[in-house]
Structure 1
Amino acid sequence: MHVAFLNPQGNFDPNDSYWTEHPDFGGQLVYVKEVALAMAALGHRVDIITRQISDDQWPEFAAPLDGYPGHPNARIVRIPCGPPHFLPKEQLWPHLGTGWTAGITGFYQADGGLPDFFTTHYGDGGLAGALLKQQTGVPFTFTGHSLGAQKLDKLHPTPNSLAKIDARFHFKERIFGERLAMNHAARIITSTRQEQMEQYSHRAYHGAVDPAGADHDRFAVIPPGVNRRVFSPEPGPADATVAARIDTALARDLPPERRALPLVLCSSRLDQKKNHIGLVKAFAENADLRRTANLAIAIRGLDNPLQQRAQLKKAEERAIFDDIARLLDEHNLWPAVTSFSLNSQAELAAAYRVTAARGSVFSLTATYEPFGLAPLEAMSCGLPAVVTQNGGPSESLFDAATGKKFGVLVDPANPADIARGLLEALESPETWQYYQLAGIERVISRYTWDRTAEGYLAAIEQAAAHLAKDGTLSVPDYFTHPGPATEIPLSALADLYFQA
């Protein structure tokens, strides 16, 4: 089968240039690359179609064709899209239905024929897929990764503030593009059933998709995978360095009698939603937990993060650590807490292995975690996970059909329940080992990129075998003839978003 991935934002090259250094070079690119390479390894022809950039600041993305060494079935295809220089994803919308889709069809005419299927990513890729389906008849899947309506929710818009917000984030184009993608896709891919039922049922998507009713069977729940090349129990090149760093931190921060205790490792980014403070409160309020383990907080960039918190660049990050420090002062918790830096995926995986050897656990007490890849990465390294019950972990760490637990779920709003969950995992060597082995088993059986690629192929084959109904939504003129006269009116977005 010949499958083309549509991902206009960011870019791809053999060196994964700029990944994590720019908002358009984040986890979505990792996802697309890993699924594409896993699919190619199964013997399929795979193209990642992205944007050609001729810009001295981004020299890696000028060549029209590229690839990944050792993966002969996979190509990176760069098609011009708008002006030659780099554009952030918010500025791509007027160029997708003009130059980019035309360039894609032209490329395949010269290449010997269209792919069998497109798989599209984010609203911009999804819009392109809907337009290409109209032009070529080639069906597509849509993976939103995140949806505009939920992003807009977080900005708390009012009818009076909507214009200012839209001027920055281009929600008119994004949400109308997403609606077209959802409506015309042969299959819609989500990471969890919860994502399907909650995010796609947002009022802004009414009339485009019905996730609980008529369109339920168009959804395919396909979890993303763990990179087992990095996150596995097998020793890695960074293990010795990270082990020495952790030992140094323990000697610096903890009294001698506490240094051999297990760690509760928290390695989330500093964000209020990650609820670090809830984990600290669990230690503050439970003497048994304090007797059993130490708390370890790891972030990128600072050797002694809690003591060097004034050096953090973001005010929100400083505020989180200031709140933690006040709680440590109030409850005399400093002798039970350490902090250190982890500066790469390899170092993170090493920390999971090193702390697992101490009988430790991973903890993520976020108020809500849409999918929760980090706990699965820890589990893949042999570190049991104690994590929020809100969101994706409720599906990945628990099998509702069999009742089997692969980790411990806790209520992030309840420090007593967080402590309960941590003590459950730490209470005995036998229980800890059960969760260690169950966690590894869960990842291998369900959460690898090979499994993700197989899920995509199954969804594609099912869609190909059952002729999908055509979408009912028409394409706004703006997407094919952009200009002031065809611009999507702000009132159209307001009508969708603020409808009763």
Structure 2
Amino acid sequence: MKRGLSMIKKVAFFNPQGNFDRNDSHLTEHPDFGGQLVYVKEVAKAMGDIGIEVDIITRQIIDPDWPEFSEPYDYYPDAPNVRIVRIPFGGEKFLRKEDLWKFLPDYVEKIYEFYKSEGKFPDFVTTHYGDGGISGVLFLEKSGIPFSFTGHSLGAWKMDKILSSGVSVEEAEKKYRFSVRLLAENLSIKYASFVVCSTSQERYVQYSHKAYNTDPYSDKFKVIPPGINSSIFNTESKQEDEYVKKYLDGIIARAPVKRQKLPFIIMSSRLDRKKNHIAVVKAFMKNEELRGSANLLIVVRGVDDAFKFVDTHSTEEAEILREILNVAGNEVGISVFFANISDQRNLAGLYRTTAQRGSVFVLPAIYEPFGLAIIEAAACGLKVVATKNGGPSEIFANGEGLLIDPEDTHDIGHKIYVALTQFDAQKSLETARKYSWKNTALGYLENIQKALENKRTSIDEGDIKRFFEIIKCI
């Protein structure tokens, strides 16, 4: 263990939504299994590598549609110091994160009883998202154990976006529970020993929203960048590469021969409106010069046949994919392709394989809080084009990647073409190598040590009462 961290023996991570298992089932392919789960898993494992005992405390689900999450305990084979603990609360079936709020007091009570039965409590708790944060507040009140808060995605900004799209306040509240989420985030910020931000932009812009009663310039806020799994995302050839190459050759086999050697424009993120896939598709279709220089490849996890998927599903993912197919039209199978790649190792293999062709990774999100995906892609040798809104502008502050206006298809098409024909991936690669989960874990641990050395925060009973009153209305 690093010197100066002697007060820390055991850390718990509170992450009630989504779930974790040794095989990373469903990871990033569902709104409740997004990037924050990768973040929690990797920081926890990095802490374990340093010598800290770590528990990831999540929810037990006994549901035939989610069989991976029924056991009370799980583990990662390569992380002996990390334990996944599943707490039974909110019934047995899978619940959306928006439906968990009223069950969180039971979650916290059972965590307390769990540690009491073991006879050993954690020294500190890290909490994630608003539901994890408020759980940290309740656990602090009950146990006196301090916590940190990592918001990942703040509700106020999502609420603004939803309302500006024409959804009524009542509809938004019913679906997303913004009133309880904003209260939970405010109380999490108020009582956390420190608040973790991935970028300065997140700290000074996101937390300055009028919905939050806080000062982002206070010392409570810490900028600790995430990292990447460099054992997976790197430029070294792996056995997965050959499999991915054959798979890719099969996907483009029916395309004209002259197109089969072209580089790719790659998008790889969950099919979600805010990820803005359609803007790149439109830019590609409008720009003949771009279309003549590359193929468009969209990673769609869990989808083998895009046409069949849209015919048999009525989800948001299917709606987005249907729109992509309509815009791409006859170019599907000619210059626009879809790849079903669901795990990180094969995704890294895809990146390395396509990087050899001079391919470009594009992240066109309307807003991206950080942008781990672009670092992973760059670490495998891909050129990167990313939204100017959010973390990418900080990661690539010195021109290591090209930044786009995600709502300007002309700008998107032009920048992708420049990246294909003029950009050198070396600067992006060098930047990516600076981001490691070990550094992220050390950032947490150094601040945890300081928190344990300081006076503990006491809870205002009125704040707890407000939370209990608002969840009664759900």
Q: Which residue of 2 aligns with 1:453?
A: 441
**C-alpha separation in 1, matches of 2:409 and 2:166:** 38
**Deviations 1:376-407 (CA, angstroms, capped at 9, x unpaired):** 12111111112222221101122xxxxx3322
RMSD: 3.5
Choose which of 83, 103, 118 in structure 2 pairs with 1:111: 118
Deviations 1:204-239 (A, max 9, x none): 22x3x222x4xx321112233223343222233432
Q: C-alpha deviations, 1:437-457, integer Å up to 9, x for none?
A: 3223222212x3222212221
Distance 1:29 1:319, change over 3 A: same
Tell whether 2:321 aligns with 1:317. Answer: yes
CA shift, 1:258, in A, is 4.2
Task: Tell me, in whole angstroms, the C-alpha distance in 1 between the residues paired with 2:280 and 2:63.
Answer: 46
Greater Cα shift, 155-164 or 32-41: 155-164
Residue in structure 2 matched with residue 366 of structure 1 by the alignment: 365
- State how far apart, in whole Å, the 2-side matches of 1:220 and 1:165 are: 31
Q: How far apart, CA to CA, are the structure 2 residues paired with 1:298 and 1:473?
A: 48
Structure 1 residues 73 and 338: CA distance shift in structure 2, 3 A? same
Higher mean C-alpha displacement, 225-234 vs 163-172: 163-172
Q: Which segment drifts farther, 295-304 or 24-33?
A: 295-304
Q: Could you tell me the TM-score, scaled by structure 2's length? A: 0.84
Aligned pairs for 1:170-319 (under 5 A) are: 170-205=177-212, 207=213, 209-211=214-216, 213=217, 216-254=218-256, 256-280=257-281, 282-283=283-284, 289-290=290-291, 292-300=293-301, 305=306, 313=314, 314-319=318-323
Q: CA deviation at 1:361?
A: 1.8
8 A Cα contact 1:266 1:297, kept in partner = yes
Aligned counterpart for 1:462 among listed residues 445, 450, 456: 450
The Cα of 1:140 is off from its aligned counterpart by: 0.7
Matches within 5 A, 1:11-30: 11-20=19-28, 22-30=30-38
**1:160, 1:363 → 2: CA distance?**
29
Q: In structure 2, what is the equivalent of residue 342 of structure 1?
A: 340
Write the deviation string for residues 57-105 of structure 1: whole angstroms up to 9, x where unpaired. Answer: 65554544443334222222333435455544333323323x3323323
- CA deviations 1:20-54 (Å, max 9, x no partner) are 56543333222212111111011111111223445
Question: Which AA in structure 1 matches 2:220?
Answer: R
Preserved CA contact (<8 Å) 1:304 1:339: no
Assess, with a 3 A threshold, how the Cα gap between structure 1 residues 163 and 220 changes in structure 2: closer, same or farther: same
Change (3 A) 1:36 1:286: same
2:91 paired with 1:90: no
CA distance in 2 between partners of 1:356 and 1:336 (Å): 20
Matched, 1:126 2:133: yes
User: In 2, Cα distance between the equivalents of 1:316 and 1:4?
Assistant: 37
Q: Secondary structure at the match of 2:248?
A: helix
How has the CA–CA distance of structure 1 residues 323 and 473 changed in structure 2, closer, same or farther, with 3 Å as cutoff?
Answer: farther
Question: Which consecutive residues of structure 2, in runs of 5 or more, have no partner in the other structure?
Answer: 1-7
Q: Distance in 2 between matches of 1:173 and 1:22?
A: 22
Q: CA deviation at 1:473?
A: 8.3
Given that residues 45 and 79 in structure 2 are in contact (C-alpha distance below 8 angstroms), is that contact kept between their aligned partners in structure 1? yes
Answer with 236-245 or 333-342: which moved more: 333-342
Deviates more, 1:67-76 or 1:372-381: 67-76
Match of 1:48 in 2: 56
Separation in 2 of the partners of 1:422 and 1:85? 44
CA–CA distance in 2 between the matches of 1:104 and 1:175?
A: 24
Q: 1:152 to 1:343 in 2, by over 3 A?
A: same
Distance 1:82 1:281 in 2: 43
1:142 deviates by: 0.5
Identity %, equivalent residues: 46
Distance 1:35 1:147 in 2: 20
Report the Cα offset of residue 274 of structure 1: 3.8
User: What amino acid is aligned across from residue 267 of structure 1 in structure 2?
Assistant: S
Matched, 1:405 2:404: no
Give the stretch that moved more between structures: 239-248 or 378-387: 239-248
Deviation at 1:187?
Answer: 0.9
Contact 2:259–2:335 under 8 Å retained in 1 = no
Aligned residue number for residue 145 of structure 1: 152
TM, length-normalised to structure 1: 0.80
How many residue pairs get matched?
A: 462
* Shift, 1:4, TM fit: 0.9
With over 3 angstroms needed to count, the CA separation of the structure-2 counterparts of 1:336 and 1:407, relative to structure 1, is farther
Whole-Å separation in 2 of the counterparts to 1:150 and 1:456? 25
2:379 aligns with 380
Q: Which stretch shows the higher mean deviation, 80-89 or 65-74?
A: 80-89
Using a 3 Å threshold, how does the CA distance of structure 1 residues 154 and 489 change in structure 2: closer, same or farther?
farther
Q: Per the alignment, in what secondary structure is the counterpart of residue 86 of structure 2?
A: strand
Call closer, same or farther: CA 1:87–1:342 in 2, change over 3 Å.
closer
Shift of 1:460: 1.7
